[in-house]
A and B are shown apart, each in its own frame.
Chain A
Amino acid sequence: MSLLELSGVRICYGNAVAVKALDLHVDEGEFVALIGHNGVGKSSTVKAIAGVVKPTSGSIKFEGNDILGQQPGAILRRGIAVVPEGRRIFTRLTVGENLTVGGTVRSDRVEVKKSSAEMMARFPVLGKYADRMAGLLSGGEQQQLAIARALMSKPRLLLLDEPSLGLAPQIVEQVFDLLEELRKQGSSILLVEQNAAQAIRAADRYYLMRTGGVIESEAAGGDQAKADQVESAYLHFGKA
């Protein structure tokens, strides 16, 4: 049984169809990338899994339970944490408060405090600026905070929407290093990215999406040649 399984998911906004029919699954401990250009429905897919938008039809199962149509809070409680596009950290809260808020769904406040300390040890920059307003952090630091905030809920699956967007190349490198490290520790990850080459290098498996549905799905697993091949094919699609 897959950890996350989407079948025949269709998402419409009024009369506009964002995703036609999407099948996708993520297994336990797997790092899956969903790549595709701007506007092919990647973000809508993330929003549907997170419970922000409701698909018109299809099913979304998490650990065998139907989660389609549930509220974002309920889905988070089941174990899917989201690092949304544009990070959306709470800029007027301190770094420490952002982490605390990330642990909202956990009942034991002492444990949350402990996790918060762990996060600050793991991401030294967050520990350093614990009492600073999060809006004052740099883009890369904010991305670390957004990921740390998501991890605070101890998710079974981490869902990332365009984490490399708007970051300098060496910072993007850091973000991917972090994701690989998380996978090694056994986290399940679904990464949605425009940055195809890097995502494919890092992921175990990838889905290539093109206006409304997946057109290709293959194992990637750090295969450099494969990544380059898809990247060029993918760029070709972009020009078409």
Chain B
Amino acid sequence: MNPQYIVDAIGTGALYSLMTLGLALVFSVMGLMNFAYGQLVMIGGFSIILLRSQPWWLLILGTILVVVFFSLLMERLAFRPVRNATAMTMLVTSFALAQFLQQLARVAFGANPKPLEQFSELSVQYEFAGLIVSRQIILTLVTTILVLIGLALLLRKTNIGIQLRASTEDVGMAALVGIKSNRVIAAAFVISGTIAAIVAILFFATRTNVSWSSGDSIVLIAFVGAVIGGLGSMVGAALGGFLMGFVYTMLNALLPMELRVFADAFLYTLVIMVLLIRPGGLIAAKGVRV
């Protein structure tokens, strides 16, 4: 086996674990599987196009601000009114919202994909011991690790982070100690939006265009990754997302040529098997509503 595949698989896994984290965080606080999360990444993609000519720091900052704005907006306008409804209603609400945002992008930017000028500085490649590593992979890995550390610090060292974790475990008790759920949920959407923006930057750095349907595949991966990793556990979510990306890349590399087109089918069959063996996910958090 060519060890080069492992490098690529780790890169994809890291990106997928970020995607999953953003989705899992909101789920753990309010039991909402936010199907519109993928559309946040799509919105990030379009804001990258609009900000492409700006200096890199402005591009990053602008994209984060735009995505966080939309993330907060969806919480306030769509999810707050259905917060106490069933999980199914919340899920369908997020689906309707995803459809709305997607079609909005289609009306605003047209049905054809918008070309995205390549980030040539990211395609520079290095060689380590025979392995080719692109700057893009290094950037993805470093960013993922930084985001994980940042998130861990935020959740452990800040008041809002501790309140967020308390709400994750027991919403009713959190209210009894005076934690304001509106504030905590808004915080979760800010963090989730920030992660979505970072994912957008890393994801579209390797793409040549952005389209109104760009967010679909992302949310599917995050959705599945979060559930097989273990709902309510951030470590589980990161692991679940990573495995989705890693296994998928490895399947694509290792399956015989004639079966390679079925890589997705193998991946999702594995997903079903994981769920049957561990319905609560690989790292099951105690007392999580599923």
Q: Which residues of A contact B (CB under 8 A)?
A: 50, 52, 71-73, 76-77, 82, 84, 88, 90-93, 97, 100-102, 104-105, 109, 135, 149, 153
Contact = CB atoms under 8 A, between A and B. Distances in A.
B177 A153 contact: yes
A93 B162 contact: yes
Interface SS majority for chain B: helix
Given A93-B162, A100-B159, A100-B162, A105 B169 contact: no
Contacts of A92: 165, 168-169, 285-286
B172 interface: yes
A101 B172 contact: no
11 contacts: A52-B176, A72-B176, A73-B180, A76-B177, A77-B178, A84-B173, A88-B173, A90-B165, A101-B179, A104-B163, A153-B178
Contacts of B264: none
Nearest to A149: B177
Given A88-B170, A92-B169, A109 B159 contact: yes
Interface string B174-213: 1111111000000000000000000000000000000000
Contacts of B162: 93, 97, 100-101
Chain A CB within 10 Å — which of B159, B170, B177 has the most? B177
A72 to B, nearest CB: 5
A93 B169 contact: yes
Given A50-B176, A105-B177, 18 more contacts: A52-B176, A72-B175, A73-B178, A73-B180, A76-B176, A76-B177, A84-B176, A90-B165, A90-B169, A90-B170, A91-B286, A92-B169, A93-B165, A97-B165, A101-B179, A102-B177, A104-B159, A104-B163
Contacts of A153: 177-178
Contacts of B176: 50, 52, 72, 76, 82, 84, 88
A77 B180 CA distance: 12
A90 B162 CA distance: 10
Nearest to A104: B178
Contacts of B179: 73, 101, 104
A102 B174 CA distance: 9
Interface of B: 159, 162-163, 165-166, 168-170, 172-180, 285-287
B214 to A, nearest CB: 36
A109 to B, nearest CB: 7
Contacts of A101: 162-163, 166, 174, 177, 179
A232 B173 CA distance: 35
A73 B179 CA distance: 7
A96 to B, nearest CB: 10
Contact of A71 (B166, B168, B169, B175): B175
A102 B228 CA distance: 33
Contacts of A52: 172, 175-176
A105 B180 CA distance: 10
Nearest to B168: A92
A76 B174 CA distance: 12
Nearest to A97: B162
Contacts of B175: 52, 71-73
Contact of B166 (A73, A76, A77, A90): A90
A109 B157 CA distance: 13
A226 B128 CA distance: 84
A140 to B, nearest CB: 19
B169 A104 contact: no
Contacts of B170: 88, 90
Contacts of A90: 165-166, 169-170, 173
A155 to B, nearest CB: 11
Contacts of B165: 90, 92-93, 97
Contacts of B286: 91-92, 135
